[in-house]
């Protein structure tokens, strides 16, 4: 390779580097996920915070209402959940259900029923 060929190659390489250095994107741009810092994701060529999923967003928005609902559920449904716990008034509420089952169990039909049927009835009730 002659000297002028080397000079041409070097000049072309320098020109290309200069061009790209002046025209390339900034650090905020990304092509792949690993171009972005931790906690960010690459979307439309930009590093942005990851979008919040719709489900979790609803949960986050409804957290206050959810708490209220949860408390409502505690007031009513907890009777079932805490029925095994210490015989509070909630258990009393449960007890009101239990006699109903018991009444059905005491019925002649249930008395005649086989254990399997009785169990079915209890599970159904």
Partner 1 sequence: MARVLACVAVIVALVVAPRVASAQQYLLGASGELASGVEGGGSPGVPLQIGRTRIRLGLDLRVDEFPKDIYGLGLILDIEPRASFGLDVRYMRRLGPKFEVSVGAIGYLMPATLIGPSASLSYRIPLSPVAAVTVGPELNIYVLGSDLPDGTVVWQGLLQVGIHADL
Residues of this chain that interact with partner 1 (CB under 8 A) are 1, 9, 13, 16, 20-21, 23-25, 29-35, 42-45
In the complex, the smallest distance separating the C-beta of residue 60 from partner 1, rounded to whole angstroms, is 25
Nearer to partner 1, 44 or 111 (CB): 44
Token pair listed for 29: 């741009």
In the complex, the smallest distance separating the C-beta of residue 33 from partner 1, rounded to whole angstroms, is 5
Token pair listed for 14: 């320098």
Nearer to partner 1, 31 or 100 (CB): 31
User: How far is Cα 101 from Cα 119, in angstroms, rounded to an integer?
Assistant: 11
In the complex, the smallest distance separating the C-beta of residue 45 from partner 1, rounded to whole angstroms, is 3
Nearer to partner 1, 5 or 84 (CB): 5
């Amino acid at each position: 390779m002659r000297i002028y060929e080397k000079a041409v190659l070097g000049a072309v390489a320098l020109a290309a580097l200069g061009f790209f250095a002046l025209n390339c994107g900034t650090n905020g741009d990304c092509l792949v996920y690993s171009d972005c810092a931790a906690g960010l994701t690459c979307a439309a060529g930009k590093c942005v915070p990851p979008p919040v999923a719709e489900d979790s967003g609803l949960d986050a928005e409804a957290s206050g209402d959810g708490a209220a609902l949860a408390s409502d559920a505690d007031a009513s449904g907890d009777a079932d959940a805490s029925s095994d716990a210490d015989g509070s008034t909630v258990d009393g509420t449960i007890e009101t259900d239990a006699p109903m089952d018991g009444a059905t169990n005491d019925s002649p039909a249930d008395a005649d029923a086989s254990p399997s049927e009785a169990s079915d009835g209890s599970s159904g009730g």
